[in-house]
Chains A and B, each alone.
Chain A
Amino acid sequence: GAVVSQHPSWVICKSGTSVKIECRSLDFQATTMFWYRQFPKQSLMLMATSNEGSKATYEQGVEKDKFLINHASLTLSTLTVTSAHPEDSSFYICSAISQRGEQFFGPGTRLTVL
């Protein structure tokens, strides 16, 4: 099946620094990608929808200036957590839609902010 990768798989950073997470669709082109966040023992929460070549659409309550999303090509979207704080520590998961309508998810990135 189609594969979505994320890099890095985990990252630890100091409070106040920025962290970039990459999401790639490896064997298909994805005009739309999504970013989710998941806290321990909770479900996935959609943060934003990322469309290639245009600005991302953020869900209510998600700060667009804090979570910068760039979808520069049909196979790559990036999420940058700016000025990260301990409350931003979470499991960040991206996903991409194939032309057949199947939505595949990446393996996730565990962010820990000290």
Chain B
Amino acid sequence: DAKTTQPPSMDCAEGRAANLPCNHSTISGNEYVYWYRQIHSQGPQYIIHGLKNNETNEMASLIITEDRKSSTLILPHATLRDTAVYYCIVRVGGGNQGGKLIFGQGTELSVKP
């Protein structure tokens, strides 16, 4: 079973920041948090991952709370092409390179003009 819970859907205005929350209260000390998104009928696209510290790349920022029980993915300036299902995933059983990704139901983000 997935170790994360996310709201099933969210809306965001184009050009605004999209903040997608995720709860992972049973996360263990060596388990990473990963974010992916999936546009209809395509394979999931990697966005970002982290362990304890906040992370930022060209796509997004990942904010992980100090107790690691929740995180937030931030898309700083959402565009219509960011409309997708966003999955927050805890890599189970193996740190950064081992283990496996168990997908939950994700959040369907709709970016509106």
Contacts and interface: CB of A to CB of B under 8 A. Distances in A.
Contact of B41 (A4, A32, A108): A108
A103 B103 contact: no
Given A43-B106, A102-B49, A107 B42 contact: yes
B36 to A, nearest CB: 7
Contact of B42 (A34, A46, A95, A108): A108
Given A99-B97, A101-B97, A103-B34, A43 B104 contact: yes
B21 interface: no
A45 B103 contact: yes
B41 A34 contact: no
Contact of B44 (A6, A44, A45, A102): A44
B95 to A, nearest CB: 8
Contacts of B100: 34, 46, 49
Given A101-B96, A103-B34, A108 B104 contact: no
Nearest to A99: B97
Contacts of B106: 43
Interface residues of B, number: 22
A102 B46 contact: yes
B13 interface: no
A91 B91 CA distance: 22
A32 B99 CA distance: 10
Contact of B46 (A1, A43, A91): A1
A21 interface: no
Interface in A20-76: 32, 34, 36, 43-46, 49
Interface of A: 1, 4, 6, 32, 34, 36, 43-46, 49, 91, 93, 95, 97, 99, 101-108, 110
